[in-house]
Structure 1
């Protein structure tokens, strides 16, 4: 979505920015920060430093694919988006939603250990941001919520995507089976594929990986296809992307788009916070135990803008491999 918004600004300047900015929703997503030093640091980061943004995936829909039981809005996807100081590459780090971490007090919640996605239920995006900052030590320069259900419309807007899967995936919503290999998917199929978490290697980790595969496929289709030279198609895609976003009130979308405009699809890396166990028994239910040493080293690399070097030294494998 960042790449698409950047394309809108680069392709038509202020007019396009103004058109799509009006379609982006705005809310207070970050906690109030009265520390003048922190505010000055954020301003400096936007001018010349690396950027760290919180991206939450909201999954608001009436029913699961296949007519399953109704469910409400939830935050199933928690990501840190790190834009390098040179503004020429980015790393998107997924934090497992069931990570067992310290969640600060908010509302009726008295504080303590819980799954990280419980923070959204207890205190919305603000508490999630506070939880992520305390977990990682990474200061946040902005925050966004993306309605992940919109991926259906985005895939349709690019006339389908080619998704290459490194393992077999069987749908729990239909009779579909995605064998290891590449598959042409329309919007409905891509959405169904991204929602799988039971018949995929690694469970939730496989689901996160599948999400990354589809997002990469959309970006690749935009960069290689005729969308950039087809105003109507590109406008439809940008409108879909913009309408799927809610951004923090302090976040300047035009400034963000300009900051990422030089990032190419192959300069975006995807990673997951290292963990030691995916079946930790806790009062909150089965949870994920993060690897303290490795996750601390990863977070330090994000803070120091050396995450590329850290990932090169600690390559991550696809679930089940």
Structure 2
């Protein structure tokens, strides 16, 4: 992706280099935290004392109005049936504890839409490229509305404007939302004893020079961080990084559900506490209700895809951006609304990124 395009108020210069021990979470870390929250709720739903556990972790998470006008109908019984649509965000926010979900001026590095099927037994994680060039609605004096990168919505209006932007783009209203806060991805991966990741290609870290071999290998928290930070040394650039994030997420789901954690109270508590401390959720979402809704999910029934695009280097006034594939994207968004995402994914299988 070009880094020489001009930038206006809707664009932020590329970040400079950073050390491996950087304290502020990067976008891929937040992606992992967010998806881990979904996994954690799945796990809670499988534990006998679901009410007691979720009540305990409910007190650990922060809450706020994350959806604004993009929220779906506030029906107390909506968690008893599907389909459900959840917005999952990760950002560079330095928000305070008094206002943890206000992120004016910060960018959303990670944007994911999770669609849970009508029968609540399948989930589809749909990644939205952060540089997608879309219409961002007005947000007062700071932004009068217009075309911009989708992650600019978070800068101008926090998660409510991001949700409204996505609703305008997709026609989908959201039942719930989550923003990842400060947490350590090392602790989460290390809490499950590492993850087994299977790569379709070899990756050499530009930060540590470590070589991740093609094939399956066990990674601890440090190694997973190193792998998912790679952007320039993987096929497809940012899209290769999204692919590798999803591989680690899949591996983590498998480890949480198959690694004995659900039968080990100490490990489960450590894991769920780490996740809960990192989250802000929409104020109208009950962890208990959501956990019960998701208890029928199994790792094999969680699928991943990315909104289709035609160009990753579209030249715009906001800098180099991603041009979405209009026809394919509209078909995907219609599939979300019609609860036929599985059919769409079957007809549009994800391709391994290539140079």
Determine if the TM-score, normalized by the shorter chain, exceeds 0.5.
yes
Q: Which moved more, 1:115-124 or 1:221-230?
A: 221-230
Q: Which of residues 35, 38, 41 is equivalent to 1:2?
A: 38
Residues 1:17 and 2:54 aligned together: yes
Change (3 A) 1:112 1:285: same
SS in 1 for 2:118: coil
Q: Which moved more, 1:160-169 or 1:275-284?
A: 160-169
Paired residue for 1:277? 311
- Deviation for aligned residue 1:74: 3.7
Paired residue for 2:132? 99
SS in 2 for 1:7: helix
Paired residue for 2:153? 119
Distance 2:204 2:136 in 1: 34
Structure-1-length-normalised TM-score: 0.90
- Deviation for aligned residue 1:46: 2.8
Structure 2 contact 92–109 (Cα < 8 Å) conserved: yes
Paired residue for 2:20? none
- Deviation for aligned residue 1:44: 5.9
Distance 1:301 1:317 in 2: 19
Residues 1:175 and 2:209 aligned together: yes
Structure 1 contact 9–16 (Cα < 8 Å) conserved: no
Q: Which of residues 284, 300, 303 is equivalent to 2:334?
A: 300
Q: Which of residues 32, 55, 73 is equivalent to 2:88?
A: 55
Q: Which moved more, 1:3-12 or 1:118-127?
A: 3-12
Distance 2:227 2:182 in 1: 13
Number of residue pairs the alignment of both structures matches: 307
Paired residue for 1:75? 108
Paired residue for 1:86? 119
Question: Once the two structures are superposed, what CA deviation does each residue of 1:261-298 show, in whole Å capped at 9, x if it has no partner?
Answer: 11001100000000000011011111000000000000
Match runs of 1:163-202 below 5 Å: 163-202=197-236
Distance 1:149 1:178 in 2: 25
Paired residue for 2:64? 27
Change (3 A) 1:13 1:125: same
SS in 2 for 1:259: helix
Structure 2 contact 70–167 (Cα < 8 Å) conserved: no
Unaligned runs of 5+ in 2: 1-36, 95-104
Paired residue for 1:67? none
Structure 2 contact 136–145 (Cα < 8 Å) conserved: yes
- Deviation for aligned residue 1:13: 2.4
Distance 2:272 2:314 in 1: 41
Distance 1:49 1:90 in 2: 11
Question: Once the two structures are superposed, what CA deviation does each residue of 1:223-265 show, in whole Å capped at 9, x if it has no partner?
Answer: 2212122111111111112112210111111111111111001
Unaligned runs of 5+ in 1: 62-71
Cα RMSD, aligned residues only: 2.0
Paired residue for 2:97? none
Structure 2 contact 85–174 (Cα < 8 Å) conserved: yes
Distance 1:103 1:151 in 2: 31
Q: Which of residues 162, 167, 181 is equivalent to 1:133?
A: 167
Structure 2 contact 41–294 (Cα < 8 Å) conserved: no
